[in-house]
Amino acid sequence: MCALCGILGPANHWTDAAARPGVFTRNLDSLQRRRERLQRVACAQRVLSHYRLTLSDWQGTAYLLSTPTGKTEIVDNLTHLWAAAEKLLGRRCDPLDPAVINHLGPARG
């Protein structure tokens, strides 16, 4: 699928909050949904930093995943994140790798 079709395609993936009660979230406030999306980006960014990758929100419809050298992939939703990371890096990325977990530091309660 081309990038334009991906942007114009269907919304409301299960990893995103929806404006309808009972669908993914009960949140009707668009500002709160945006805040939740940015919190998901921040959480993913913590894990991706182990691989020196950055993730950012793009217009509230997709994500930009980038390497330190500037290679970038548009990621439609968070379920495609790890496949895109592996494509950019040319190697396997495992968010449950003990090195990644160690990179994140001690769990906070």
Does 2 map to a domain? no
Nearest partner of 61 among 8, 2, 21, judged by Cα: 8
Q: Total structural domains in the chain?
A: 1
Span 16-60, pLDDT tens digits: 655 555 555 555 677 777 888 888 899 999 999 999 999 999 988
Average the pLDDT over 2-13 and give the result.
53
CA distances from 63 to 41, 68, 89, 109 (A): 8, 16, 17, 28
Range of the domain at 77: 16-104
Indicate whether 39 belongs to any domain.
Answer: yes
State pTM to two decimals.
0.69
Does 11 reside within a domain? no
